[in-house]
């Protein structure tokens, strides 16, 4: 048992990436191809879901909803919906309000969408993403000339500047948000569909009731976190609160552009809304979709989210007590100087979590010849394979690689690069005594306030 492992929140941003890291030892298991999938590849619902598996339409309401949805789809997408019904995803109700995937798809196509969004496009994108979440990407689209003046004008109102280069985002810092989107679509399809429906509706927001003990050990600390992250909320009692999630006000501009001018490998309008929303949550409501920059009180870097912000975002989105475990030891100069535990223990934590049916958001780093961390990136670990010699190959999803397929990393390549991983407390507490990130976050904020005084 290690005496104490600190999450070591540092100001270096380990969750953004300025360019796609070269995976020299991690060649994708399948060649690069345009985002597409067959019915046989559709992701089945997780067995750990608390929602009962239903594969047949039983009520008149469900049958009418199903018929209406199919009437708006092409043959290929109809086949996808049929498969979603057969494998239990379409009637999955593991959402905050117990609505099913079917219910929310029906609302998307029969109720009004936000100005500039196309109901059929949102419907098709939602179906495709739930069926095969690997199509999710964090790649920003280019801004066509016909939109440039209005985009610059909208940005200048917020940023007090008129710089065309600020809105031509080449490498985004939304890896945490995109990975959160991926995990939500893959593990909670009904909740993903609910988010898709409400974020694309005229109100462009979604409410979610969460348990306060999934944020911190006591109510006052949970309330402190909600206030510190400036997320709108309403207390129901001392045990729960209803939070309001919404994209930043400029997200609709990007979403409109992607509705009419999306190119291959670029984000869908739905990706834009989802990722903006999760960036808003983590950045204390300070994100700007036009520039992919954020402000906020916890991060000195204007791109991406730090570990503390990522943990808060994941905790409220999934309404779970997420424990972010730091495995790399990093000094004040961002130099990798060692590890908090041995690689076998790290591997055990990962495999036990995956065996429990949970995907894992991990942050991994890239160092230079002096072991200084120069880049970091957030990806999602979804499974593993074991070779005859006992070595593991981890199956992951990277939203920044233009590959709409899972990719494989040998354990010898990936494990030493893992800076942190989001894991269940019951799995890691046997080996490590973890200081929760919210404890360090509160202390960090107090120190920052003291220094500013």
Task: State the total domains in the chain.
Answer: 1
pLDDT higher than threshold 80 for residue 38? no
Q: Which CATH number belongs to the domain containing residue 345 in this structure?
A: 3.90.70
**Inside any domain, residue 364:** yes
Burial of 205 (0-12, 13-18, 19+ CB in 10 A): middle
Confidence label for 159 from pLDDT (cuts 50, 70 and 90): low
**Inside any domain, residue 199:** no
Q: Between 5 and 351, whose confidence is greater?
A: 351
**Inside any domain, residue 435:** yes
Which ranges constitute the DSSP H helices of 242-373? Answer: 251-261, 269-282, 307-318, 343-355
- Write out the two tokens for 101: 């995937």
pLDDT higher than threshold 60 for residue 178? yes
Confidence label for 275 from pLDDT (cuts 50, 70 and 90): very high
- Write out the two tokens for 57: 């339409």
CA–CA dist 276, 23 (Å, integer): 27
**Inside any domain, residue 401:** yes
**Inside any domain, residue 448:** yes
From the list 422, 208, 223, 219, the residue with the least C-alpha distance to 316 is: 208
**Inside any domain, residue 14:** yes
| Cβ pair 231, 244 in contact under 8 A | yes
Cα separation of the two ends of the chain: 39
**Inside any domain, residue 393:** yes
pLDDT for 35 equals 38
> What would the pLDDT profile of 373-383 be if each residue is shown by its tens digit?
998 899 999 99
**Inside any domain, residue 193:** no
| Cβ pair 340, 5 in contact under 8 A | yes
Give mean pLDDT, residues 225-245. Answer: 95
CA–CA dist 349, 329 (Å, integer): 18
| Cβ pair 289, 204 in contact under 8 A | no
Structural domain boundaries, residue 431: 2-31+318-452
> What would the pLDDT profile of 405-434 be if each residue is shown by its tens digit?
999 999 999 999 999 999 988 899 889 888
pLDDT higher than threshold 70 for residue 272? yes
Confidence label for 39 from pLDDT (cuts 50, 70 and 90): low
């Amino acid at each position: 048992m290690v005496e104490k492992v600190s999450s070591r929140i540092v100001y270096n941003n380990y969750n953004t990436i300025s360019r796609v890291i070269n995976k020299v030892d991690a060649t994708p298991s399948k060649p690069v191809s345009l985002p597409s999938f067959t019915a046989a590849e559709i992701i089945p619902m997780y067995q750990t879901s608390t929602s009962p598996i239903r594969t047949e339409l039983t009520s008149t309401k469900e049958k009418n909803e199903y018929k209406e949805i199919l009437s708006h789809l092409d043959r290929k997408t109809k086949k996808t919906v049929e498969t979603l019904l057969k494998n239990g995803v379409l009637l999955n109700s593991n959402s905050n309000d117990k609505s099913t995937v079917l219910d929310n798809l029906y609302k998307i196509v029969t109720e009004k969408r936000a100005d500039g969004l196309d109901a059929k496009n949102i419907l098709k994108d939602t179906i495709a993403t739930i069926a095969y979440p690997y199509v999710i990407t964090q790649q920003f689209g280019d801004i066509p000339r016909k939109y440039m003046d209005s985009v610059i004008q909208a940005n200048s109102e917020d940023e007090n500047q008129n710089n065309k280069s600020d809105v031509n985002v080449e490498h985004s810092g939304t890896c945490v948000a995109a990975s959160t989107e991926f995990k939500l679509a893959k593990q909670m399809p009904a909740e993903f569909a609910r988010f898709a429906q409400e974020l694309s509706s005229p109100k462009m927001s979604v409410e979610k009731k969460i348990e306060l003990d999934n944020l911190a050990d006591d109510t006052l600390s949970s309330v402190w976190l909600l206030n510190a992250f400036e997320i709108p909320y309403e207390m129901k009692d001392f045990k729960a609160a209803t939070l309001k999630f919404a994209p930043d006000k400029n997200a609709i501009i990007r979403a409109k552009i992607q509705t009419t001018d999306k190119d291959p490998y670029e984000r869908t309008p739905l990706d834009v809304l989802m990722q903006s929303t999760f960036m808003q949550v983590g950045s204390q409501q300070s994100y700007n979709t036009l520039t992919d920059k954020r402000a906020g009180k916890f991060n000195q870097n204007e791109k991406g989210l730090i570990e503390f912000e990522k943990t808060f975002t994941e905790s409220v989105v999934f309404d779970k007590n997420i424990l972010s475990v730091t495995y790399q030891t990093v000094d004040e100069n961002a130099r990798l100087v060692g590890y908090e535990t041995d690689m076998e223990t790290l591997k055990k934590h990962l495999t036990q979590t995956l065996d429990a049916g949970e995907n894992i958001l991990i942050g991994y780093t890239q160092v230079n010849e002096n072991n200084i961390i120069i880049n970091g990136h957030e990806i999602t670990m979804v499974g593993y394979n074991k070779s005859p010699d006992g070595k593991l190959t981890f199956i992951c999803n990277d939203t920044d690689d233009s590959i709409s397929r899972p990719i494989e990393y040998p354990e010898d390549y990936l494990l030493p690069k893992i800076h942190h991983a989001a894991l269940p407390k019951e799995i890691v507490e046997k080996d490590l005594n973890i200081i929760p990130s919210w404890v360090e976050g509160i202390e960090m904020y107090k120190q920052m306030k003291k220094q500013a005084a």
